[in-house]
Homo-oligomer: A and B are copies of this chain.
Amino acid sequence: MELCEIMQMIDRSLFATLGYTAPDGTVQLRRVFCVWHRGLGSHLISTNTGSSHVQHLLQNGAASLYFSDDAAFCGLCLSGKAVIHQTGAYKTLLWNDGDEKYYPLGVQDPDYSVIEFIAEQGSFYRFDGKGTLSAAALSAFDAGREYENGYAKHCAEQD
How far does the alpha carbon of A13 sit from the alpha carbon of B46 in the complex, in Å? 26
A52 cross-chain contacts in B, Cβ below 8 A: 123
**Chain A residues in the interface with B (C-beta under 8 A):** 14-15, 17, 19-21, 25-31, 52, 62-66, 68, 70, 75, 77, 79, 121, 123, 125
A29 cross-chain contacts in B, Cβ below 8 A: 17, 19, 29, 64-66, 77
A62 cross-chain contacts in B, Cβ below 8 A: 25-27
A121: nearest chain-B partner, CB-CB: B26
Do residues B70 and A17 form an inter-chain contact, with CB atoms below 8 A?
no
How near does chain B come to A65, taking the closest CB pair, in angstroms?
8
Instruction: Name 17 A/B residue pairs within 8 A (Cβ), A-sorted.
Output: A14-B70, A15-B68, A15-B70, A17-B29, A17-B66, A19-B28, A19-B64, A20-B27, A21-B27, A26-B79, A27-B62, A27-B79, A28-B79, A30-B66, A30-B75, A30-B125, A52-B123
